[in-house]
Amino acid sequence: MINLFKVIRRIFNILLHKTPHLNNFELETFVNEQLKKRKIFIRAYELYGSPLYFIEQQVILDRAKRFFTAFNEMFSEPQIFYAVKSNNNPIIIKTLLNAGFGLDVSSGTELELALSCGATNIVFSGPGKTDKELKLAVQNQKYITVLMDSYNELERLNNLASKAGVSVKTGVRLTTDERALWNKFGIPLDYLPDFLNKAKKYKNIHLKGIQFHTSWNLTPEKYIIFIKQLARILKKLSRDTLERIEFIDIGGGYWPQQGEWLLFEGTPEGRFYSSIVKSTKRVISHHKFSSVPIEEFLCQIANALKKYVFPLVECKIYTEPGRWLCNDAMHIIIRVIDKKREDMVITDAGTNAIGWERFETDYFPVINLSRPGLKEHKCYILGSLCTPHDVWGYSYHGKDIQIGDVLLVPYQGAYTYSLRQEFIKPLPKVVFYTPTGQFKEYTNNNLNI
C-alpha cells in the first residue's frame, strides 16, 4: 500500500531542494576548451568524414596517470583494473594496459577481448556466469581472479577447476544494496562468514579476497557506509580466516570531476514536473550535480579503511575505475545534412551510435566547429534514425548552423561506445589521435598502438 505521507514528503523535498544550475562561466569555459582543439577535430573530419568516434589517446594517459598517482599515495602496491564495460574499444584497453592497468571484465565476451589484447592481470566479475565462461576462466587461471557472485557459482567453478586439475584464485562479491534489483549482485554481507567457511572445503578454490561495488558515485559516502558495515562482519571472523584475505576490491563507480550535467527534464524536479504536466515547450536550462575530485575521493575511502578495516586485516586494495578514465577521452563528430526550420536540423548520425536516449535528460553542449562561437542558441539537433527519440541536443554553441556544418558532441567516452547498436544506420568510424599528433583509423585488424 502506498504511504501517501511519504509520497508528499518526497515531493516536498524535491521541490524544496532544487538541482543547482550549471554556471554559465563554467559552461563557456568548457566550450572554449573544446574550440582550442577545433583544427584537430576538423582535420579528422576532412580525413575520414563523418560520423566519427574520435579518441584522444593522450587524455586516456593523463587520466590514468592522475588516478594511479592518487591511488598510489593512499595505498601500497596499488592494483587498478579498468572496467571494460565502460568503453570496450581495444585502443582504449591497450592504452591502459600499456600504462600498467589490469582489466575488470563482466562476461566471457569481455574476457576473450581482454585476453586478445594481451591482458595478464584480470578480475572477472558479474552475475550469472555460464559454465562456458567459467571454463574459459579456468583455462586461463594464471591471469584471472574470479569474483564469485553466488554459492552456486562457487560450486560450479570448483567442479570445473577440479576436472581441469587446477586451482583458481577467487574473491566473493558482496551486495551493497539489498533493495529491489540490486539484490542480483553478489551475496548479502551477513552471509560472508558462512560463504568463507564453505569455500574452505573446496580444494580447487583459493578464496583470497572480497569485492563490493557501488555505482554512479559523485561522493565517497556510499563507500564509507559500506566499509563500516564490512568491518562489523570482519570482527566476527576468526584470525585464521582473516589471514586468508589478501585483497579487498572496492569496485569503481567514480564520477568524473566535471560532475553530472543535466537538462531540466533529467533533474528530480523535472521528472516530477513531466509526470504531471504535458508540455511541448522546452526551456534551455542546464543543471549540475557536483562531484568530488578523485584525490579527495580516494583519501576519504583510505581514511575509512584505515580506521575500520586495516586494524582487523592486512591486505591489498583493488579498485575498478571505468567512467572516470574514459569519459573525457572520446568525442563524437557529426555533420548537418538537412535544415528543416531555423530551429531544427538533421545530422548524419543516429543515437544508435551511443545506444540509448541519453540526450533527452543528460546535457552535453553541441558545438558547431564550422561556425565557432560561445553563444548558445535554441535548436533541435536531431539524428537521421526513423524514430522521434533520436536526439543529440536542444541547442548548439556557435554563430549559426547550416547544412554541411561539422558538429562536436564532447565527452562521450563512457557507456556509449559499449552500448552502440546496429540499428537502421551504420555505426561511425573510429579514429584515434596519438600523443605524437597522428591520426589513425581503428579497424579490427589494427591493434598496434
pLDDT tens track, the chain, 449 positions = 566 666 566 655 756 677 899 999 999 999 999 999 999 999 999 999 999 999 999 999 999 999 999 999 999 887 999 999 999 999 999 999 999 999 999 999 999 999 999 999 999 999 999 999 999 999 999 999 999 999 999 999 999 999 999 999 999 999 998 777 778 999 999 999 999 999 999 999 999 999 999 989 999 999 999 999 999 999 999 999 999 999 999 999 999 999 999 998 888 887 777 777 776 667 789 999 999 999 999 999 999 999 999 999 999 999 999 999 999 999 999 999 999 999 999 999 999 999 999 999 999 999 999 999 999 999 999 999 999 999 999 999 999 999 999 999 999 999 999 999 999 999 999 999 999 999 999 987 555 55
pTM of the model: 0.94
Task: Characterize the bridge pairing of strands 330-341 and 316-319.
Answer: unpaired
Count of helix runs (H) and strand runs (E) in the chain: 14, 19
Q: How far is the C-alpha of 233 from the C-alpha of 194, rounded, in Å?
A: 11
Q: How far is the C-alpha of 289 from the C-alpha of 106, rounded, in Å?
A: 28
Q: How far is the C-alpha of 71 from the C-alpha of 65, rounded, in Å?
A: 10
Question: What contacts 429, CB < 8 A, 6 or more positions away?
Answer: 48, 49, 51, 52, 53, 441
Lookup: cell for 85: 564495460
Q: How far is the C-alpha of 379 from the C-alpha of 341, rounded, in Å?
A: 9
Amino acid at 28: E
Strands (E), 290-373: 316-319, 330-341, 344-347, 367-368
Do 25-54+330-435 and 57-256+291-326 show the same overall fold?
Answer: no
> What residue ranges do the domains of the chain occupy?
25-54+330-435, 57-256+291-326
Residue count of the chain: 449
Tell me the three state secondary structure of residue 275: helix
Q: How far is the C-alpha of 182 from the C-alpha of 380, rounded, in Å?
A: 36
- What is the CATH topology of the domain spanning 25-54+330-435? Lyase, Ornithine Decarboxylase; Chain A, domain 1 (2.40.37)
- What is the CATH topology of the domain spanning 57-256+291-326? TIM Barrel (3.20.20)
- pLDDT tens, position by position, 81-122: 999 999 999 999 999 999 999 999 999 999 999 999 999 999
Rounded (10°) angle between helices 131-139 and 108-116: 30
